[in-house]
Structure 1
Amino acid sequence: MDPQTLTITSGAAALAAQLAALAFGTSITPGPNNLMLLSSGLRFGVRRTLPHCLGVSAGLALVLLLAWFGLAALLASLPVLQTLLTLAGALYLLHLARLTACADPRQPLDGRNGDAAQPMSLIGAVAFQFVNPKVWGMAASGVGLTLAADVSPALRAPLLVGVYCLMNLPCISLWAIAGSSLRRHLSQPRLRRAFNLGNAALVAATALWMLAPLAARLAG
């Protein structure tokens, strides 16, 4: 292998390792997606939650590409649009928290209790990523790391999107699996009610965290 090829290969491998570490750390930690997947895994099981998982990773890939091509900078220059996206995401999470808190704990954990109890679709999960601030933060961090790497420009975007999504899908799927594994421990309505209230509180807290910077700007 000639020195130039070795340099390119080494640079790409180093960037892939850095992106993998960043993607793992940001994908496995709690956030709006993982809290929803935990709840969905409990209510519907892993198989019915799989489209939700795939939608999260597909939406992440789209956000990464948009951030790579400069949409993140455009959003930063348009505070009104940024505010509308934040409000949309926070209001959706508050709506989800209300539904979770008010869910009947006596209903069977199979999702067969009416149209109101359906797992999130792949398209819905993709769309939610565009109003999820954690995903935009992940994209900004990944783009910054990729731009700073000594790697061929032709390899940068494929590495960014490929490595992020390869790490993201298994990490978020663990939350759905964890929710499904809780089924046998939450067979009693009293315990399931406590879980629903706790999960709803976490989702609502995430929505308020999203709104905090907006409230600070308005107060200033």
Structure 2
Amino acid sequence: MIELTVALVVFLFPLAYSPGPGNMFFAAYGARYGVRATLPATTGYHVATWLVTVAIGFGFAVAIRHAPGLFLAIKWVGAAYVFSLAWTFLRAGLIAGVQEARPAGFLDGVILLALNPKAYLIIALMFTQFLSEAQGNRTMLVLWIATVFTLNNLAAFLVWTAVGERIAARLRRESSSRAINLIFATVLAAVAVWMMLR
């Protein structure tokens, strides 16, 4: 189990820590609200991550493979959701008197993961590499792989959120709050475009 875990973490490191849509989402929210305010969304995302990873490990990937239209629908709905989050930042940055954008909550984190079909592909790829050759109790292996994957991903997101918070702390001034909101809206819109094009 130790050898499997080490190999899994090495395999996941570049996937988890490279700038992908989830990392950019949490970096933007960390920059805007700080690490503490993003913890509900981070928790929601990773509870959903663990559940989806377990489901795929036990065969959810088969349903996606036999229903390619489902994958496409999830992709477009997910992109639309992230665009809507970008729009809240944009409105807060451009229109005087509009309610300030709020921190993402637990449900936002769940939705972000659920509507990110690329996460499903990464998880399915991980299981093809680490479950097919594994020996022993398959149920325990699926649960262990899902747990290691989720904790590794959580660590990466916390790093990106903290980096976003540190960068924003250097730039934050009252007069620049609208510009910062525009930057965050642009980052989230870019995440949505990435989700559509991948």
> TM bucket by the smaller chain?
0.7 to 0.9
| 1:153 to 1:165, Cα distance in 2 relative to 1, 3 A | same
Q: 1:151 to 1:188 in 2, by over 3 A?
A: same
- Post-superposition offset of 1:73: 1.7
Shift in CA distance, 31/196, structure 1 to aligned 2, threshold 3 Å: farther
1:145–1:69 distance in 2 versus 1, CA, 3 Å? same
Corresponding position: 1:164 with 2:144: no
Alpha-carbon distance change, 192 to 27 in structure 1, aligned in 2, over 3 angstroms: farther
CA contact (8 A) 1:105 1:190 kept: no
Give the residue type in structure 1 aligned to 2:135: V
Q: Which amino acid aligns with 2:71?
A: Q
Question: Counterpart in 1 of 2:48?
Answer: 59
Alpha carbons 2:78, 2:116 under 8 Å: kept:
yes
Q: 2:120 aligns with which of 127, 136, 147?
A: 136
Q: 1:72 aligns to what?
A: 61
Q: Which runs of 5+ in 1 are unaligned?
A: 1-11, 108-112, 214-220
Deviations 1:144-163 (A, max 9, x none): 12223333134311221121
Aligned partner (choices 37, 43, 46) of residue 48 of structure 1: 37
TM-score by length of 2: 0.85
What is the CA–CA distance in structure 2 between the aligned matches of 1:115 and 1:55, rounded to whole Å?
A: 24
State the alpha-carbon separation in 2 of the partners of residues 48 and 86 from structure 1: 27
Counterparts of 1:105 and 1:181, CA distance in 2:
24
Which letter maps to 2:163? Answer: A
Aligned residues: 197
- 145-154 vs 163-172, which deviates more? 145-154
> How many angstroms apart in 2 are the aligned matches of 1:199 and 1:158?
36
Give the match for residue 182 of structure 1.
167
Flag the structure with larger Rg: 1
Q: Which letter maps to 1:172?
A: F
Q: Is the 8 A contact 2:92 2:100 kept in 1?
A: no
Q: Distance in 1 between matches of 2:10 and 2:80?
A: 31
Identity among equivalent pairs (%): 27
Superposition RMSD in Å: 2.6
User: Are the aligned partners of 1:64 and 1:143 in contact in 2 as well (CA < 8 Å)?
Assistant: no
Q: Are 1:96 and 2:80 matched, yes or no?
A: no
CA deviations 1:108-134 (Å, max 9, x no partner) are: xxxxx9865222212321232111133
